[in-house]
Amino acid sequence: MAPFDFFRKKSGGATENGDTISISSRTDDRFNKNQSYELSQMATEDSYSGSNSGIYSDPYADNVPLTNNHASQSYAYNPWNAQGNQQATSNMPPPGMMPPPAINMSPKNQQTKKRNIPWFTIAVSIIQIIVFVSELIVMSKYTGSIVASKPTFNPMIGPSTYVLIHMGARFTPCMQYISGVTDVKTSNFPCPNSTTIATNVCTLSELCGMGGVSDHPNQWWRFIIPMFLHAGFIHIIANMILQIPLGGSIERDIGTLKFAFVYILSGINGFLLGGNYTPDGIASTGASGALFGIIALSLLDLLLNWSLYEHPKRTLVSHLIEILISFALGLLPGLDNFAHIGGFLMGILLGLCLLRSPLKIRERTGQPIAADNYLKSKTLKDRLRNFGIMFSGRHPVWYMWVIVRLVMLALAACLVFVLIRNFDNGGGHCSWCKYLSCLPINGWCDTGYITTSSS
């Protein structure tokens, strides 16, 4: 997988992180250049506060202040004429033209940098490294070496496939019933400590481990655990090179909960799609599906905030080239392109659901309802009232985008449901789908199928 570049967005001043996609310090050209706006706050130092303090600088959250700790504000609206010396003043700007409130540098807002530490990216990377070290320890315990060289060499420079299966890789025979394979008690499989073909003397339960399997295996957790497993040094280093900078940058922008949600579901969906359409004998590991979900978020951010990028066309071309190269590499043996495709698709659906509204929509709909209308949410009745206020008096385009979000969320849920149900029914039955993950040369598309022989 090629390393992912980061591109700077436009900003009214110096960007905080010039090599990230953060737009928290940008200045939007959303108002008429011949008009100036002056915001005067009549209350005290922190007009908008709470768990989302500083929400107006969050590039992905729709501006809906949920609490108001102070009195209302007054705004001075100053349209200048051609000579620049006439001024009209009113209590409020015209509808749809209210400028964003100034962000007060209260102690809460000064702690934004601390809150923006990408905790999930850090935690998941540490866990994956620890798990990889555990793989090497188990491999050394079983075979006396940390790198598989017999019966086949692992080009990723790491444990054997059998050890990875034993530790939780996605491996269909450990997860579902396969006629003539899982229901035959006398079937022999390679052992985790196999170093020669002659050591195919283990049962399926011994190979799968984790409590063993019955005639109808159901180790469903193999759709989750493989995100933390890696096939070798090359595999984990390549993923870390992408995950740490790109994942950390996006997590800081959209928040830890949203990022973790997209990361985990994209990874699961990648393994679900692969479980349905890859041959039963192929084991799959890695965070590639999750990372492709994050790449999808990065691409969506560009498309939804096109005018905020300094060179959007150049950035788009670079994104597309790198994505195409990554998908092309997925056609090589040993790489699961279905995980890439499934993760990318889930990232697109969840991104449209969770990312901030497109810039054009935000410009058209203007600022949301003032926080003065909200009550302190002490009771359920107050919370319900605030929820109703949040959806009242909006621009029609705002409601349309809410519908788009709900549709994308429903499609994501349906996709996961259909793939799970399809897998439980024996997986996908598609004769040409295998070519999405392999090239029809040198028999690459004919590998991974389980065959049985009697001795």
Q: Which residues pair with 77 in a beta bridge?
A: 37
Under DSSP, the state recorded for 78 is E
Backbone angles phi, psi at 347, to 5 degrees: -60, -40
Question: Between the CA atoms of 159, 162, 163 and 167, what dihedral angle is there, to the nearest 10 degrees?
Answer: 130
Distances in Å between the Cα of 444 and the Cα atoms of 149, 221, 236, 341 are: 21, 28, 24, 19
Catalytic residue among 53, 288, 298, 326: 288
Bridge partner list, 38? 76
Strands (E), 31-160: 35-40, 74-79
Of 166, 230, 319, 340, the active-site residue reads 340
Residues in a beta bridge with 149: none
Largest CA distance in the chain: 99
Structural tokens at position 221: 């957790």
Calculate the alpha carbon distances from 396 to 219, 354, 362, 364, 391 in Å.
47, 19, 12, 10, 11
Q: What string of H, E and C letters represents the secondary structure of 282-327?
A: CCECCCHHHHHHHHHHHHHHHHHCHHHECCHHHHHHHHHHHHHHHH
Tokens coding 410: 């429903």
The sign one gets for the Cα dihedral 84, 88, 89, 93 is negative
Residue 431 among the catalytic residues = no
In contact, 439 and 329? CB cutoff 8 Å: no
Q: Is 340 a catalytic residue?
A: yes
Which amino acid is located at 92 in the chain? M
Burial label for 454, CB within 10 Å (0-12, 13-18, 19+), is exposed
Residue 45 CB neighbours (<10 A) = 12
Beta pairing partners, 9: 309
Task: Tell me how crowded residue 386 is: count the other CB atoms within 10 A of its CB.
Answer: 17
Residue 102 contacts residue 39 (beta carbons within 8 Å) = yes
Report the catalytic residues: 288, 340
